[in-house]
Copies of this chain bind each other. A is one copy, B any other.
């Protein structure tokens, strides 16, 4: 391990002058002072009078432990940005140290530019302090309110993936990423170190991880701080990094070491990028990174009530907890605050003294003012005509196509149109070929920096397709890419989207908050294609059958979530095009990849998807009289079985009047006050009736439909068929039967609710059950669906 501290201390020349360490240290003290102020003070921000308990907040909320390391890092990053005019973005894994980041943004002036009421003066400082973790104020974490942040850091584990995503296609950017040693224990972070196998030194910017070992979590040591140093070094080298250690408890020594380390790292980065960009050797390089060891809660109270606080887990949150009640704690707090010598750092009017104020890069080079973080560097996506690769059909239900294969062609064109813009990437944990999106490989390759071998398929240093068997990495990289203003799509096996449930939840919260922040430009939407879905995982069995991701997504703020079930390929094209054009949303598209019947030509698909739902008159038999029953469906397999049920009914009960409704945009089912896409009750009633039985066949868990419609007129007549967790390895049709969404069960369910066929019901039921039993016997005997099931087409 290279220990930067072992290099001879030198005077750093450059824009900060020979007294750079003194200036940097003053800035650091100021940032720490302002951080402690945010955690504790309601008033008396500059201690112009002796500290009294009524100056202190009644509820002390915040996390001090990680702050001094964050502010130290910020100070050093600012120094090297000034010295080199280097564009940098900071991703702070320990987002709970937001007090430190707020302080930095305030010192840089950005905070006051974005929030004029929090000026760089005494009153502004008072507001800065008071609002922190305060009702009606700003959160305790690095949320979308914070200038320069793309990462809240509340749920831990995603900082390095976000940093990697931000670096992609940003060749001039260095993304510094503080990784907390607690966070480093999470699975997503542990696999994020593999970024070295994907980052292209030519097309991408660099990621500079700063693993901050302050040794403790809430009340526990951390693994990475306590493993033998050579093992930690080995672990990082094993992932393709070149760690540079910065260790110490003496600020002056640390300043020298940290400055040297950052220089070493940037030089290393430029060397790798330079040689790759000059067309010289591409692989075999290790990216530099920093291992920073400083005490937890450094510069804070050392010993409190006889217990060690600084350098211990006791400084994780609020080191002095009883300040309002305990005069000794109050005195310790005052002593702590004064230890930063605020009188040297701030003018009488509260503004930073020039020494402190000038320790900042100019304009948008400030970490808190990087336009990349605020969505201001977007290049609009160029998208092809969505139906350039449509399915041609003259009547519904005759042509077979694989929906995702057509989408692959659309995506290939989109990649081609944006070839020079470098603003569209595709991600999949289970691979684009498996998801039948492989047309994209005519335009680009799979991103790969490791060794290649004969027989490898479309690996490329600069490929725009990312495949890694980690939903977390795909999601985290895509989030980082989107949050810096670019576009993308994540395709996944439907069941395994649950792996990133918590991540999408955090992203939804970010989007919802960011939409309320006027200086943030809305960023492109997070688009999911869930394919290999529950009804066609008949070959992989129960573990691959779970349609619940959309339930989870629909629990999030309705302003930011959309869920689509295109019934066929042309509808998928229409929906995907719509989603890729949108901003600020989470769009979930569920669509199978298997050969399936096609129903709508491109004109009808466009109109149907624009409506989001509608009556399919061509499939309905109620055109000449009162409707007996409504058969509704959402999802490609439900649509197929619903239409087949109509045929079954036509055969067995020719006089039955059936209306067919297809739903693409699931939120249309909700009322407008519940979801912005919600349909008015009157329109809903026109489609579903309010007094006829509705047999609704839904792709997923049936209660989701009830949840969306329970206040609708006629809800008592709504009967939903869907997935009941009855799954295994079997045939596609048998999967439907096991969950009673097959054509026979649907036909029966419809008939049972039509009073005027009650007299014939017993007879028809027996016929239907016999027919079903015949199919089932065939399936269990031969292992395949009967031709009339397998090759069924719509006869209208």
Residues of chain A whose beta carbon lies under 8 Å from any beta carbon of chain B:
42, 57-59, 61, 95-96, 133-141, 143, 152-157, 182-183, 185-194, 197, 217-223, 226-228, 231-240, 284, 308, 312-313, 430-431, 433-434, 446, 448, 450-457, 459, 467-473, 495-496, 498-499, 501-502, 505-506, 508-509, 512-513, 538-544, 546, 548, 551-552, 555-557, 701, 703, 706-707, 710, 715, 725, 728-731, 734, 779-780, 782-784
Contacts and interface: CB of A to CB of B under 8 A. Distances in A.
Given A501-B552, A544-B154, A233 B238 contact: yes
Contact of A140 (B222, B457, B539, B780): B539
A233 B546 CA distance: 37
Contacts of A446: 220
A417 to B, nearest CB: 26
A90 to B, nearest CB: 18
Contacts of A701: 555
A506 B546 CA distance: 9
A197 B227 contact: yes
Contact of A469 (B183, B459, B473, B541): B183
A176 B481 CA distance: 40
Nearest to A57: B783
A226 B450 contact: yes
Contacts of A555: 548, 551, 701, 725
B226 A231 contact: no
Nearest to A703: B707
Given A154-B543, A235-B239, A501-B552, 10 more contacts: A59-B784, A61-B538, A96-B540, A141-B540, A154-B541, A187-B191, A221-B450, A227-B450, A498-B552, A499-B502
A496 B503 CA distance: 10
B186 A469 contact: yes
15 contacts: A58-B782, A59-B539, A187-B188, A219-B434, A220-B457, A223-B450, A223-B468, A231-B238, A235-B239, A237-B238, A308-B455, A499-B501, A512-B725, A551-B555, A710-B715
Given A185-B194, A231-B238, A557 B725 contact: yes
A499 to B, nearest CB: 5
A269 B134 CA distance: 54
Contacts of A734: 135
B501 A496 contact: no
A59 B536 CA distance: 13
Contacts of A136: 730, 780
A499 B546 CA distance: 16
A143 B542 contact: yes
Given A236-B238, A469-B185, A542-B513, A191 B190 contact: yes
Given A187-B187, A433-B219, A729-B140, A783 B135 contact: yes
B539 A509 contact: no
Nearest to A132: B729
A189 B471 CA distance: 12
Given A135-B780, A539-B133, A509 B221 contact: no
B221 A456 contact: yes
A232 B472 CA distance: 21
A489 to B, nearest CB: 18
For the complex of A and B, 3 pairs with smallest distance between CB atoms: A154-B543, A235-B238, A187-B187
A730 B61 CA distance: 10
A563 to B, nearest CB: 15
A304 to B, nearest CB: 13
Contacts of A138: 729
Nearest to A227: B450
A136 B397 CA distance: 30
Nearest to A183: B469
A42 B730 CA distance: 15
B495 A457 contact: no
Nearest to A237: B234
Which residue, of A188, A470, A715, has the highest number of chain B Cβ atoms within 10 A? A470
A502 B512 contact: no
A292 to B, nearest CB: 18
Given A58-B784, A455-B312, A541-B140, A156 B469 contact: yes
